[in-house]
Each structure stands twice: as structure tokens, then as C-alpha cells.
Chains A and B, each alone.
Chain A
């Protein structure tokens, strides 16, 4: 089975590229993009399994970007990266189909754990889809 495709969307280049490198070291097929437009392109072309989305992007909020990505492919699982803690952002992300959130600075163990469960959900959805189309 090929490595899971993970895309990091964050305007902080150093953060996104380093996190991408660390995920690659952990055997994910990770890529970093630094603006919403690139996120949409990569979501369409590369069909990633999981997208890590910064909540606060210039010009567009993470939840808005999430909504658009989900329109391209509802199977893509989105994990939000946020500076705020759970009880504060829960109401905001509850409106979108967000799989989970991770706080910045990121605890890599927590992040990979959440990516893995997101992958499981994505796989389950794919299987259901295949069954349905047969």
C-alpha cells in the first residue's frame, strides 16, 4: 500500500515545510502549500487523504477553505491547526465537516495519532463508496 497522502496548508513557510519534512520521516507522503489557492489545486490534482489546515490564513479562514476542499472531494479528511484550545474553536469547526483539530505548537505524537485515525475513516468511506458503486 502506498504512503498516505498528507497536505499541510499554512502561510508560515518554515512551519509548514518543517512539519512536512518530519511527517515524511515518519513515512507519510507529505507536502506543504502556503496559500489557499495552492491548497485547492493540490486537493483537486493530488487527491490527498488528509489535509492539515491552518485556522487563520490570510484572506480566508480555515473553515472556509475546508468547505471548498470538501466540495472537490468529500472523502478528504481535514484536521485543523489552531492556536486556540478546544472549547473555544469547537463551535466554529462544528459547522464544517472537520475530522479533528490539533493545537499549535504541534505535538507530533498527537498529530500522527490523529492523522492515522483520519486515514482509517477515509479508508472506511472509500470502501463504502466502492461497495455502493458496484
Chain B
């Protein structure tokens, strides 16, 4: 741009010199003008021609100046506009708007600067995304840690309570039982039947309470993890062994779809047994006589193996599904379920770093999916 300005000024100066030289020639010719008539006319002609040439030079000088200025202004604009755009975008990015990008025009140095800027911008966005993700993960892990610590504390606390309640319950049960024993040995008296019924009600209530205390005591034992090598397929077979009788009794069809080369992993065996015992027991309770339960294991990815337990039982309503892992939530009849099974299951799976989810459709069946880290 500066080069072009210098060039037009130089042209103007040169033009000026040419004009002055011509003017001097005309003046000199005027002094010899008187010699002869012929030469005089000739000289006059030359004089006119020279004056015209001078004017032409002046005009061309002016044109060069004007054109030069216009070209200069255009050129300056073509450079300053992208720079201003660059500045604008930089300011916006600095203010935190990472979505802004440079509009690339042409192919010069400024354009390649814009391309670099945009590339840097992409990298920045990627890094930000990565950091956000890492931060999220960190927060999640911290929550998990807090959760498992809470669970352990809750476990110890409720175990103490459950133990303290279970012993007097056992006494109530024995006393009521002994009362019944004596009543049965005694001859008929007024209200005997009534007494017997009341004793039965006491005994039944004891059973209801003890289902809860037993569950809590079982749960509490499981707040400490004892790691051992586990083959999930073997573990499932063991669990099925525990409830073989229930499955036979209800003539349930059991389909096993166990992945042959399941990687072994280190985890707490008793915990996992409890998890699958709870889920399979629920499936057994959910199906009608002759119902179907399908148990499968698979490798989800390098870090996770998956187990699913599917039944074709009565299913769970979407309302109940929302609360399914809440403690003391149950859809079973009063006295049939404690509402602790799945919440304990959920707690255990989370503590092991796994995941549990449930899909269900009323009257169609339910599927529990459990992911276990290996």
C-alpha cells in the first residue's frame, strides 16, 4: 500500500518536471521567435503543440493521483476489514462466547491467520468439553463415595437397631408360643377361642417384624466388602440353587442364556449373591404358575459384564417403577414384602461401582439389567 502511494507521488513529481522542462523549451523558442516568418509560424505551431502536451501531462498526472488514491483506499479497506473482524471475534471469544468463528475470505496471510484462529478455537472447545466431562465424573465419584460411606453408616446403625429389636421379638414369640401351648393343654373355657386367635395375631405380627429385622441384619453384614474372584455364571447357578424349590413348586420355566467365556472379576461374592437372590426371587413372585424366567449373561464391553433377569409376570406400573429402588417401597401385599430388597440391591450394586436398571410393562413382564465392572 505504501509502495503504491510512493509510486503515484513519484509519477506526479516526474510529471511536474516534464511540464516545467516543456515550459522552459517554449520560453526559449519565444526568444528566437523573430528570425523569419516561416520559422515564426513553425515555432508558433510547436508552441501550441507543447502547450497541449503540457496540459496532457498535467491531466494524466491528476488521473494518476485520483486513481492512486481510490486504489489505496480500496486496498486499505480490504486489509483492515478482516483485521477488524478478527478483533471483534477475538473479543467475543475472550468474553466467553466460544461458538464464534472467523469468516474466511480470500487466501492471503489474514485468511490463513483466520484458519489458524478457528483451529485453535476448535481445540479450545474440545478441551473445555473434556474438562467439563472430567469435572462431572469427579463430582459423580465424590457423590458415590459419600453415598457408599452413608450406606455403610446406615448399615451399621440399622444393624444395631435390628439386633436390639430382633431379640425382644424372639422373646415375645416364645412367650406367645408358650401361652398357646398351655391353652392347648387346658380344657375348654369361655373365650378360649378368642385367646387362641389373639395369640395367633401376636405370632403373625412377630413374623412381619422379623422379616424386616432379618433383612436389615443381612444388609448390615454386607456393608464391608470382601473381594474374591468371581465367575458370574457360577454365582448365578449357586443363587438358583437357593431358590430351586420355589421355581419347581411354581413349575416355572427357567431359560438360561449364559455367556461361555465370561471374564472373571474380583468383587464381593456374598453381596452379589444377595443382589441376584433378591432379583430372581422377585421374578419368581411376579410370575404366574408355569411362568417364564430368563437369565442371561453377556460381555458388554472391555470393562463391563451384563446380566439380565427377565420374567413374563405381572409387571410394574410406571408410577411404581419410579419408586422401585426406594427403601420400604413395595407393591406386594401387606406383610409379604419389606420394601427393602431392591433398595438394598441398588445400594450394593452402586457400592460395587455397577449399575442397575429396570424396564417393565404391566401384564407383560419385567427385565432387570445389571452392569458389573470387571
Contact = CB atoms under 8 A, between A and B. Distances in A.
A83 B242 CA distance: 18
A18 B162 contact: no
B170 A12 contact: yes
Given A87-B270, A87-B274, A106 B174 contact: yes
A128 B274 CA distance: 39
B374 to A, nearest CB: 23
Nearest to B162: A83
B263 interface: no
A106 B175 CA distance: 11
B10 interface: no
Contact of A85 (B181, B207, B218): B218
Contacts of B206: 105
Contacts of B273: 87
A19 B170 CA distance: 10
A87 B242 contact: yes
B20 interface: no
B121 interface: no
B148 interface: no
A83 B213 contact: yes
A15 B218 contact: no
B181 A12 contact: no
A106 B173 contact: yes
B181 A22 contact: yes
Given A14-B171, A88-B270, A105-B170, A83 B214 contact: yes
A12 B163 contact: no
Given A18-B178, A105-B206, A83 B171 contact: no
B221 A84 contact: yes
A58 interface: no
Contacts of A104: 166-167, 169-170, 210
Contacts, number: 73
A74 interface: no
Contact of B214 (A12, A25, A85): A85
A114 interface: no
Of A12, A19, A104, the most chain B CB neighbours within 10 A belong to A104
B interface, how many residues as a size bin?
Answer: 20 to 34
A101 to B, nearest CB: 12
Nearest to A83: B166
B373 interface: no
A105 B166 CA distance: 7
A106 B214 contact: no
A121 interface: no
Nearest to B213: A83
Contact of A106 (B163, B170, B213): B170
Interface in B250-279: 270, 273-274, 277
Contacts of A25: 178, 181, 185
A105 B181 contact: no
Contacts of B171: 12, 14-15, 18
Nearest to A88: B218
Contact of B174 (A22, A56, A85, A87): A22
Given A14-B171, A14-B175, A18-B175, 14 more contacts: A12-B170, A18-B174, A83-B163, A83-B167, A83-B217, A84-B214, A87-B274, A87-B277, A88-B221, A103-B210, A105-B169, A105-B173, A105-B174, A108-B177
Interface of A: 12, 14-15, 18-19, 21-22, 25, 56, 83-88, 91, 103-106, 108
18 contacts: A14-B174, A15-B174, A18-B175, A18-B178, A19-B174, A22-B174, A22-B178, A83-B163, A83-B167, A84-B218, A87-B218, A87-B242, A88-B270, A104-B166, A105-B166, A105-B169, A105-B206, A106-B173
